[in-house]
Each structure stands twice: as structure tokens, then as C-alpha cells.
Structure 1
Amino acid sequence: MTNSPEAVSQRPEQMAAPALALRSIRKSYGDHVAVNDVSLELASGEVLAIIGPSGSGKSSLLRCINLLERPESGVLEVFGKPIPLDRDVPAKDLALLRRNVGMVFQSFNLFPHLTVLRNITLPQERVLKRNPEKAAQRARELLERVGLADKGDSYPGKLSGGQQQRVAIARALAMDPQILLFDEPTSALDPELGLEVLAVMRGLAEAGTTMAVVTHEIHFAAEVADRMIVMADGRIIEQGPPETVLDSPTSARTQRFLRAVRGR
């Protein structure tokens, strides 16, 4: 799904106004610097894959984007609007940020005592102030989209891991986010169930959803992403089209990482 030069030239507005812009983001935990001077942009409709060894700062970077973790320094802009990092963000603005920048985690984080349908309608009613009828209609549309139209009355504990993750994706989509962040969405699943989730994500990419995906699924990233970055030791050490990064990496650290991945 890598953009051709022609496709890029047809979307100049994306280059002028990125959906997401990070400038010199830094996040540390005590003496450990998890994200070290990271800058990147994400265009509307772009799919960005983030790969790298464990502990490289990939998940911390995603959590900094929607302020689940507060960076110590740097600049964060969402659709051209700066998000202050030097002071507390008002609760209203923080809720708006997380509505516009949805996130799907490794764990599904579903409410076990609520039905699948209610897991998806409750956030809509609380955050978007949708009435129950419209929230339920949107939930059913999304359950059909992720292949779970018959599971609305089920409880999460009765679903497979792959099904639960697809419900979590439907819940995120129900908030109508402009950007979706995925943090290793298949890492807790066996390969067969992971394929169910990857199929849904592939459909989102084909529909033009703006996505940043931390993943260990290298083949999926190569197929779906427009651009790929490699992180190590809290920094971006390589980036470019997936075929370039995977087939002709210039960094010795990237070469070592890819050898390890392919040697499993």
C-alpha cells in the first residue's frame, strides 16, 4: 500500500497539514530515557508501522501521543493544533484529544460484566452524548464491519481473544477518531486469532484510516504500511518505505534486528 509518486502528488494538502506532528519528544522513567528526541509526522490517510526490539520505546511513544504518558519536553500537534506539554491539559481538552486519537491496546480492556454491545455503546453515550438508540445503531454497524454482527448480546468472557480484540477495535471506531493508534494488537493472540485482527486492520487501511501501528508482524507491516520507522534505544534509527527499510536497511542496528526477526 506504499504511495506511488503520483499518489503523493495528488495529496499535497497532507504534506502541508499533517494529522500528527511530533517534535523532539522526550520521555523518561527515572534514569531510563524511553523516548529520546523523537520527531515524526503522520499524514491524513497514512499508515505508519513502528517496529524495533523490545524496550526500544515504541509503546511509550504511542502513549505520549494521546498523553497517557506526559512527555517532559517537545512539541505535539494534532491537525495543526498544539497540545501543551508544559502544563496540565484541561480535562475537556484531554477528552477531545483522546476522542480524536483513539487507541487499541495489547490487552482488550473490555468490561467483563457488560455485553459486547454495551461495551461499545457506553463510551458513545458518556463521551459523545449520543442517545442510546443512535449509539446502539452505530455499535451494530461496527460489529458487522469487524465480522461480529451476531455477538452483540454475548459477554467478553465467552469470546475468543481475537474476537475480543475486534470488539475493542469496534469500540475505538465508535468514537469516530481521526487517528487510530495500535499498540501490538496481536501480541497476546495465537497466530490464527491474530489473523482475524490483522484482516480488520487491513480493511481499515484500505478505507483510508489514519493509523500508527506498533507491531511485530513484519509481513503485515510490509503489506499495509505506507511508511515504516525502526526504533532502538528510544530513538528512530531508520525510516522510509517498508520495502526500503526491510530490504535495504542502512543502520547496522536495523540489520541486526531484522536478522533476529527472520531467524526465528
Structure 2
Amino acid sequence: MSLPPTSPTSAPAAASTAAGTTPMVSLSHVAKRYGDHVVLEDVSLDVAPGEVVAMIGPSGAGKSTLLRCVNLLETPDSGTVSIDGRTVDTSGGISAKDSMQLRRTAGMVFQSFNLFPHLTVLRNIAIAQERVLGRSRAEAEERSRELLERVHLAGKEDTYPTRCSGGQQQRIAIARALAMEPKVMLFDEPTSALDPEVGLEVLAVMRELADGGMTMIVVTHEISFARDVSDRVVVMADGGIIEQGPAAQVIGSPEHERARRFLRAVTDR
């Protein structure tokens, strides 16, 4: 599903969703600073149900911080965050209950895999379902097996993470996030720690999720993935959105000089 982009010159405003469509994710005037260092300044962004948004830009642009603000792993200093109609106003402080409820709607996949080394692959995926969703062990493990098949790792149930390749561990992490039945999947540079060949396995699974209609926000330097899979590309620099629009347009003919400079640096390597 593609959305009409805002003009690059007005990029800090949220992109309009299609007529009559309520955003699955909505960030409004989000700001974040650490002391005197401004990481995010007045950032607004809407993501429609089923849309895949790729966030690109130079290191230090605020991409990962913005992604972590979506599920409140980072608490914004101001602004509102909404997922699937549940809205949290961050300016007045956030209760633990509000954080937990919002966080459950967003699956997160990090650069590092964060798997439990002492648990089998199956238990890594099942344990949170039992403790958070209240599923029985049998139900959780049945769902875990289904998800392992979905990420092409059937047969790895009794293996320990250290016996798996980096690409396999990242796919296990994706299955673990999917097990919580999220409304949106958040990916923070999921292939950055992987060899290019191994990273392709992870990107293939992400492409399948996108094809299946999962709402996704992906922070990435994989420009080919951003161009070929995402509906919209958002370019960030200096704590704000400087340009956004259809993937082919932004990557092929960026209008903002800073976006052009970043894309030249990435594609000329």
C-alpha cells in the first residue's frame, strides 16, 4: 500500500494516509534530547496498516532513537505515540501500564539477536508467550513451531542459539517477535552485524512479511531493500525528517541536497 508523500520541503510533518485510513502508527511532534544534545526535534510520522516504511540516513540522524520511541524503549520528552488506536501522550510522563500495553503491539528486532543462550530455539520463542500472553506451554510451543517453519527454520527446535549461524539467530529473533502477535514490526538495522550473504536470508524473510501485509518500519542501510520492498522511504538527518516519498522516487531522484549526498555516499561505495 503506497501513501501520498508530503513534499520534501515539508517533510517534518506526518505523511497523509489514504483517505479514510486510520494510521496503524502515528508519531506527533516527538522530541528527544540527552542533556544539551538534541536527538529528535518535532518529528511527526504516520504509517498506514500494511505499509512498509524504510528509514535511511547518516549515522547519528536519530533513526534508531525514533524507532525505539515507537514502542517506548526510549521515552520521548514530548509528543504523542499511537499504535492501532492506543495513544500515549509522553509529555506528562508514562505509566508502566501504558508502556507495557503499547509495547505489546510492536515487535522489535535489534541489530544483536538477544537470544537466551541457555534455552533451546523453541523455548526462546515460547517463553514470552507463556509469561506475557498466558498461553499454555503446549499452545506456545505449537505456535513457535509454526513460526519456525515460517522463517524457514523447521527442525531447529531443539538446537541452542550458539549452534546457529548469525542469520539463523536473527530469523529466530524475528519468529520470537512475531509470536507476540504484534500490530507492527520494528527492525533496527537487522542485517548490520551479518555477512552480506547471510544477511540475504534475513532480508528474504522480511520481504515475505511485507508481502503478507505486515506493517513494518525498518531502519536500514540496505538501499536495495528500501527501494524494492518498502512503500515509502523516509530520510532522516540531524534529528528530523528531511525527505520522504515513494521508494523509487526518493532513492532515484532525491530532492533534498543532504539526501542526495547521503545516497551518493552509500551507492558509490
TM-score by length of 2: 0.92
CA distance in 1, matches of 2:92, 2:130: 29
Cα pair 2:86 2:102 within 8 Å, conserved: no
Q: Which structure 2 residues correspond to residues 56-205 of structure 1 after superposition, within 5 A?
A: 56-205=61-210
Cα pair 2:79 2:89 within 8 Å, conserved: no
Please point out which of 226, 232, 252 is paired with 1:227.
232
CA distance in 1, matches of 2:125, 2:19: 36
- Secondary structure, counterpart of 1:86 in structure 2: helix
Cα pair 1:35 1:234 within 8 Å, conserved: yes
Compared with structure 1, are the counterparts of its residues 223 and 86 closer, same or farther at alpha carbon in structure 2 (3 Å cutoff)? same
Identity of aligned residues (%): 62
- Secondary structure, counterpart of 1:200 in structure 2: helix
CA distance in 1, matches of 2:214, 2:23: 14
What do the CA deviations read for 1:91-149 (whole angstroms, capped 9, x no partner)?
A: 33322211111110000000010000000000000100000111000000000000101
Cα pair 2:84 2:183 within 8 Å, conserved: no
Shift of 1:76: 1.4
CA distance in 1, matches of 2:87, 2:101: 13
Residue identity matched to 1:251 = H
RMSD of aligned alpha carbons: 1.4
CA distance in 2, matches of 1:96, 1:105: 20
Cα pair 2:78 2:89 within 8 Å, conserved: no
Please point out which of 14, 23, 37 is paired with 2:28.
23
Structure 2: where are the runs of 5+ without partners? Answer: 5-17
Structure 1: where are the runs of 5+ without partners? Answer: 5-10
Residue identity matched to 2:119 = L
- Secondary structure, counterpart of 2:39 in structure 1: strand
Shift of 1:39: 0.5
Compared with structure 1, are the counterparts of its residues 74 and 93 closer, same or farther at alpha carbon in structure 2 (3 Å cutoff)? closer
Matched, 1:213 2:218: yes
What do the CA deviations read for 1:72-93 (whole angstroms, capped 9, x no partner)?
A: 1112122233213134433333
Tell me which residue corresponds to 1:247.
Answer: 252
Shift of 1:23: 1.0
Q: Which runs of 4+ in 1 moved over 6 A?
A: none
Tell me which residue corresponds to 2:39.
Answer: 34
TM-score by length of 1: 0.94
Shift of 1:165: 0.1
Cα pair 1:2 1:224 within 8 Å, conserved: no
